[in-house]
Amino acid sequence: MPRREEKIFKFFTFLISLAPVVLVVLLFSFLLYYSIPSIRYNGLRFFTTYYWYPGQVYLPPVNVNGILVPYGSSFGILLFLFGTLITSLLALLIAFPISIIISLIVNLYINDKLRKIIISLIELFAAIPSVVYGLWGIVYLEPILSNYIEPLMSKYLGFIPFFSGPIYSGAGILASSLVLSLMILPIMTSVLNGSISNFSTPVKEGAIALGATRYEVGRMIILRGLKIQIFGASMLGLGRALGETMAVLMVSGSAFNIMPSNIYSPINTMAAALATLLDSAFMDSTGMNLYALSELGLVLVLITLIASIIGRLIVGIGIIRGYTRGEEL
């Protein structure tokens, strides 16, 4: 190929390599553009109230401060915001010790071959589609929770705040957090396993030679040495949990306009609410429902990005799903 065409090819691939940038910029501009009417109309009320009502779409829209909105409509995301944060944080609380213990055990006590098998089995959790988790949650998890586990927890752990009180159908904060914890387990375990197996071998072996038990090596040397990586892995897990939609939508109990009273209560998250409400938003001739949901989406994506980007800056950019660079791909 002549020189000129070489240059054209280079320019062509250059344009294509901008695709991620273009897509991200497009996404944010569209979300922002569609959010502006809602930001103007709702202001801070959007974050401080928890009452969300799409309004009477069959009645003529009303004029509020010069903006046409559906009659009786109200847009407050506090409940969804709270639901997203509480389910994700609880999921992190459950997945955090499990992923640390698993990655320590497989690196300290188990041979390489078995370790690879265990890690790839755990990575299978990342391959199960989100909606299948939801199906499993509805069919298996919810009955077990509401019939056996939640009554026991309410009875014996009732002294802990928010652990006592009525049991509902099983769909709720606890079910969502449990399902989410399974979904974030692979990415956390695989990142932690990566950093632990890269941990300096002379230091580990030196400590063992000095008479430390493997548990002591894990707790006193590896965990202390990897504090930052552990934080990064948690942020990655949190980022995944915050944005999870279908599984949570199916096991959260889809609560609207009612704050949960305990951890068995139905809840709603921003992602799940967005999926539920978008359908009815199309009925709204003033468009305010769509604008408000766009703002909801914008807030959700910003929260998710903060967690993910912090995590990625710590454990290294370029990590995809549960699959770390290298052996497990």
Residues 143 to 172 in contact with another protein, rule: CB under 8 A: none
Q: Cβ(323)–Cβ(194) under 8 Å?
A: no
Q: What is the rounded distance in angstroms from the CA atom of residue 155 to the CA atom of residue 162?
A: 12
CB of 202 to another protein, least distance (A): 21
Of the two residues 15 and 160, which places its CB atom closer to another protein in the complex? 15
Contact, 175 vs 83, CB < 8 A? no
Residues 277-316 interacting with another protein (rule: CB under 8 A)? 278-279, 293-294, 297, 300-301, 304-305, 308-309, 312
**Among positions 74, 130, 154, 197, the unique one binding another protein when judged by CB under 8 A:** 130
Nearest-angstrom CA–CA distance, 299 and 243: 11
Residue 164 or 276 having the CB closest to another protein: 276
Q: Tell me which stretch binds another protein (CB under 8 A): 16-24, 43-51, 193-201, 222-230.
A: 16-24
Question: Which residue among 132, 220, 259, 283 contacts another protein (CB under 8 A)?
Answer: 132
- The only residue of 52, 96, 133, 168 in contact with another protein, by rule CB under 8 A: 133
Judged by CB under 8 A, the residue of 39, 78, 94, 118 near another protein is 118
Which residues in the 23-62 window bind another protein by CB under 8 A? 23-24, 26-27, 30-31, 34
Q: Kindly tell me which of 34 and 264 has the beta carbon lying closer to another protein.
A: 34
Pick the closer one to another protein by CB: 179 or 262: 179
- The site string for another protein over 239-278 (x = CB under 8 A, - otherwise) reads x--xxxxx--xx--------------------x--xx--x
Give whichever of 200 and 213 is closer to another protein, judged by the CB atom: 213
210 sits near another protein (criterion: CB under 8 A) = no
Residue 1 sits in the site that holds another protein (CB under 8 A): yes
Question: For residue 47, how far is the Cα from the chain centroid?
Answer: 20
Task: Confirm or reject binding of residue 121 to another protein (CB under 8 A).
Answer: yes
Cβ-based nearer residue to another protein, 262 or 286: 286
* Interface with another protein (CB under 8 A), residue from 78, 89, 94, 98: 98
d(CA 200, CA 222): 9
Task: Provide the minimum distance between the beta carbon of 279 and another protein in the complex, in angstroms, as a whole number.
Answer: 8
Based on CB atoms, which residue is closest to another protein, 45 or 312? 312
Shortest reach from residue 289's CB to another protein, in Å: 13
Residue 81's contacts (CB-CB under 8 Å, 6 or more residues apart) are 47, 270, 299
Which of 127, 196, 140, 203 has its CA nearest to residue 171?
A: 140
> Binders of another protein among 171-190, rule CB under 8 A?
182, 185
Q: Of 60-68, 209-217, 222-230, 259-267, which part binds another protein (CB under 8 A)?
A: 209-217
Which CB, 226 or 262, lies closer to another protein? 226
60-79 positions binding another protein, by CB under 8 A: none
Tokens standing for residue 269: 């998250």
Short-list 213, 186, 67, 168, CA closest to 130: 186
Question: For residues 271 and 240, is the Cβ–Cβ distance under 8 A?
Answer: no
